[in-house]
Structure 1
Amino acid sequence: MNQIILIFLGGGLGSLARYGAAKTFLKWSSVFPFGTLTANIIACLIMGFFTGWAALRPSESVTTYRAFIAVGFCGGFSTFSTFSNETILLIQNNRMTDALLNVFVSLTLCFGATIAGMWLGKYV
């Protein structure tokens, strides 16, 4: 299948998953951006898993999966622009502690999820 189509399909599914994450945590969105945090952690775990899995295979055999999973799905699902916007809005609303907490928790958990995914991809 053409890589453009795979990216398109993966991106559409990732965007729908992102919408689902946002809806799941909608009633808490005024407290903390849990939907964005959850989407980013899961996307990092998936990306890490794919990276670990792909490291054990010849590069030509992962091209199709990379287009669908890494570029398409994770690209549609992860939300760095939303994370940035929500953090800036917290700052503008004089919620500096929440803004710093969002940055710290997001980076810590997303890096951790990526590392965990890489490990799982290599050993599962």
Structure 2
Amino acid sequence: MIEKLVLVALGGAVGASARFLVVNAALRVLGPAFPWGTLIVNVLGSVAMGMVVTLLVERVPAAGDRLAPLVMTGVLGGFTTFSAFSLDAIQLIERERWLAVTGYVTSSVLLSIIGLALGMMLTRAAIS
């Protein structure tokens, strides 16, 4: 149990650091008008989760038992940002930016689900 907790903590530090870098890069490049960084992180995280779950859970379950806490819970849990997503949505609502919040919530959910399916599909095709 302690070993898995350490793996989750280490992965979380890596994922959270990566999220910080992506969100700040998006802010510099795309500006503050829309929470692009959080959207990008959630979609990329979903694609990565699809790939990882396909590899670790479906193809190599023994490795998945060891690596899932590090990669899935730690790195990807630290990288994806649905709590930040919720905050961004509330902030758009509080500013009464109804079109932006509708687009943001809809695109975040749909693109993340599509991203996860895409990650699984690409990985299955690559390892078949």
TM-score by length of 1: 0.91
Displacement of 1:29:
4.6
Structure 1 runs (4+) deviating above 4 angstroms are: none
Aligned equivalent of 1:55, options 55, 58, 72: 58
Instruction: Report the aligned-residue RMSD.
Output: 1.5
The one-letter code matched in structure 2 to 1:66 is: A
Residues 8-27 of structure 1 deviation map (CA, whole Å, 9 limit, x = unaligned): 11100000000001110123
After TM superposition, the structure 1 = structure 2 runs for residues 10-89 of structure 1, keeping only pairs within 5 Å, are 10-27=11-28, 28-53=30-55, 54-57=57-60, 59-89=61-91
Displacement of 1:60:
3.1
Residues 42-76 of structure 1 deviation map (CA, whole Å, 9 limit, x = unaligned): 1101111111112122x333112101110000110
The one-letter code matched in structure 2 to 1:56 is: R
Residues 60-115 of structure 1 deviation map (CA, whole Å, 9 limit, x = unaligned): 33112101110000110000011111111101101000000001111121111100
1: distance between equivalents of 2:26 and 2:63?
A: 37
After TM superposition, the structure 1 = structure 2 runs for residues 89-104 of structure 1, keeping only pairs within 5 Å, are 89-104=91-106
In structure 2, the residue corresponding to 1:2 is in which secondary structure?
helix
Higher helix proportion (structure 1 or 2): 2
1: distance between equivalents of 2:111 and 2:24?
A: 21
Displacement of 1:121:
2.6
Partner of 2:9: 8
2: distance between equivalents of 1:64 and 1:110?
A: 25
Structure 1, gaps ≥5 residues long: none
Identity of aligned residues (%): 28
TM-score by length of 2: 0.89
Partner of 2:107: 105
2: distance between equivalents of 1:41 and 1:24?
A: 16
